[in-house]
Chains A and B, each alone.
Chain A
């Protein structure tokens, strides 16, 4: 089974080597003469007046949570679909209840307007 993943491993190795190589070549071959002006944060020509880290809107968090919920639902669907022949009617009904519970979540999200970005 594992030998099917060999191309992915080779690809990972290539990606790591290529990334590191580009980085090292740039590090050693490029001229580096830093001074205070070059190292200062660049803000389109004027003085930086704010920390780079600023508050996010909390609505991104809501979108992320809703994404996690339905992502997990999808993750449950895959083993169910593969094993449906073995689990039969009971599996079908179990997934029906499972999916209905999440449809309730979806309807709630929709009716509350959580999917809108106003």
Chain B
């Protein structure tokens, strides 16, 4: 138990450090890579909470797909970041309000409810054959079947929207059609013509 607590603090420390790095890094590519580190550490913490499937999905979807997308977007935006940063410090009152609200919400959950008699305490021990994946699947395809369908519709809309926004066919390109190249035979290419020699030797 002691060892697990130690591990939790180690991974949380890396997580918090990497999160600070995300907002402090000057180069947005470094920010994105530090966010990948954040996701890895959150995945480990979820694993330690017996949420194996969610941890793996976090790595599979966020690290494997979403962060690649982020990197593409960061690299696609051809903006001068020094220009953009000018005057950013002037927004500090708004930032202070948002940060204050978030600190308040976290304190409300962690401190007030804890002191108000609702002990967060340790979670009840899980049965030996507990499978996070199976429990999740049962919930997802019985009680939450309708939200799952909504998720599918959202994915469909995302896919269509991406195509409508970015797909441009460029006329005039001459791509190789490998199938046609393979199917070609010598008869289609070379025509042998029988003709009499023009000049007798």
Residues on A facing B (Cβ under 8 Å) = 1-2, 5, 9, 53-56, 58-62, 64-69, 71-73, 75-76, 78-84, 86-87, 90-91, 94-95, 97-99, 101-102, 104-105, 108-109, 112-114, 118
Chain A residues closer than 8 Å to B178, beta-carbon distance: none
- Report B57 CB to chain A, min CB distance, Å: 5
A108 in contact with B163 (CB, 8 Å):
yes
Interface pairs (27), CB distance under 8 Å: A1-B50, A53-B78, A55-B75, A56-B75, A60-B76, A61-B72, A61-B76, A61-B166, A64-B72, A65-B158, A68-B66, A69-B158, A71-B60, A71-B64, A75-B60, A79-B134, A79-B140, A82-B133, A83-B135, A90-B142, A94-B141, A101-B152, A104-B156, A105-B155, A112-B167, A114-B167, A118-B170
- Report B117 CB to chain A, min CB distance, Å: 31
Complex formed: what's the CA distance from A98 to B50 in Å? 27
Complex formed: what's the CA distance from A101 to B78 in Å? 35
- Report B162 CB to chain A, min CB distance, Å: 4
Residue B69, interface by CB 8 Å: yes
Given contacts A5-B47, A80-B137, A87-B138, contact A98 B72 (CB under 8 A): no
Q: Which residue of A lies closest to B76 (CB)?
A: A56
Complex formed: what's the CA distance from A73 to B61 in Å? 10
Tally of chain B residues near chain A (CB < 8 A): 51
Chain B residues closer than 8 Å to A72, beta-carbon distance: 61, 65, 151, 155
Chain B residues closer than 8 Å to A78, beta-carbon distance: 53, 133, 137
- Report B182 CB to chain A, min CB distance, Å: 18
Contact residues of B between 137 and 190, Cβ < 8 Å to A: 137-138, 140-142, 145, 148-149, 151-153, 155-156, 158-160, 162-163, 166-170, 173, 175
B138 in contact with A65 (CB, 8 Å):
no
Complex formed: what's the CA distance from A53 to B75 in Å? 7
- Report B160 CB to chain A, min CB distance, Å: 6
What sequence of 0s and 1s flags, for each residue 69-103 of chain B, a beta carbon within 8 Å of any chain A beta carbon? 10011011010000000000000000000000000
- Report A69 CB to chain B, min CB distance, Å: 5
Q: Which residue of A lies closest to B146 (CB)?
A: A94
Residue B106, interface by CB 8 Å: no
Residue B4, interface by CB 8 Å: yes
Complex formed: what's the CA distance from A105 to B161 in Å? 11
B169 in contact with A105 (CB, 8 Å):
no
A83 in contact with B170 (CB, 8 Å):
no
Taking A55-B78, A66-B159, A86-B137 as known contacts, 10 extra A-B pairs with beta carbons closer than 8 A to each other, sorted by chain A number, are: A61-B76, A68-B61, A75-B60, A83-B141, A86-B138, A91-B142, A91-B145, A95-B141, A101-B156, A105-B159
